[in-house]
Amino acid sequence: MPTDDQFAESLGAGEEPASLSRRGFLIKLSAIAGTVAAALVALPIVGVVVSPLIEKPREIWRSVGRLEDFPLGQTVQVSFVDASPLPWSGVTAKTAAWLRRDGQQSFTAFSINCTHLGCPVRWVSGAHLFMCPCHGGVYNQDGSVAAGPPPKSLAKYPTRVRNGLVEIQTSGIPISS
């Protein structure tokens, strides 16, 4: 039969409890802080990778003016609110397109963004060309590439006339479409 001292020894009595040193505490605190920082950095990255798989880009019809406001054959710049503005976007939610009236009820709308790097193109009516000021990209009246570095034609927005209003079907900036 064990004695009281042997029994107390087997339970750990007589030993001092392990205390956490300052160094050990700082090591554990650093490990926890590093883990939290890594999680904060990784979370947005995971969101960017997973978000396109989950969310379908919003497409909304936006009115850009009355039918009679657009003369036949002319190309004009129109402004509208982007399809996916955030509540705090303010003025940055506005975007634009080049709109040309081709017939009584038919319109063509081009993205204002160059397909090279997304710079805003301008319409030169005398030359019937879209010009990109950033790297000298030139587009024909139909949006096809005429010269410079753009890899493809200007993106087009679907258009319609409804109740006397001209509407453009908006989506995210169509640089890569």
- pLDDT tens-digit profile of 59-115? 788 999 999 999 998 999 998 887 766 677 777 778 889 999 998 889 999 999 998
Rg from Cα positions in the chain: 32
Residue 173 has pLDDT above 60, yes or no: no
**In this predicted structure, what is the pLDDT of residue 176?**
43
Q: What's the rounded mean pLDDT across residues 121-131?
A: 93
- For tokens 């590439």, name the residue: 145
Max avg pLDDT among 15-24, 33-42, 43-52, 83-92: 33-42
- For tokens 């209003």, name the residue: 165
Residue 18 has pLDDT above 90, yes or no: no
- Give 31's pLDDT tier (boundaries 50, 70, 90): very high
Task: Identify the weakest region by mean pLDDT among 54-68, 98-112, 124-138, 159-173.
Answer: 54-68
Is the CB of residue 128 less than 8 Å from the CB of residue 143?
Answer: no
Residue 8 has pLDDT above 70, yes or no: no
Which letter, b or e, does each residue of 26-47 get, where b requires 16 or more Cβ atoms within 10 Å of its Cβ?
eeeeeeeeeeeeeeeeeeeeee
Q: What's the rounded mean pLDDT across residues 158-172?
A: 88
Which letter, b or e, does each residue of 127-136 get, where b requires 16 or more Cβ atoms within 10 Å of its Cβ?
eebbbbeeee
Residue 174 has pLDDT above 60, yes or no: no
**In this predicted structure, what is the pLDDT of residue 88?**
72
- Residue 173 DSSP one-character state: -
Measure CA of the first residue to CA of the last residue in the chain; give whole Å. 86
- For tokens 């990778």, name the residue: 49
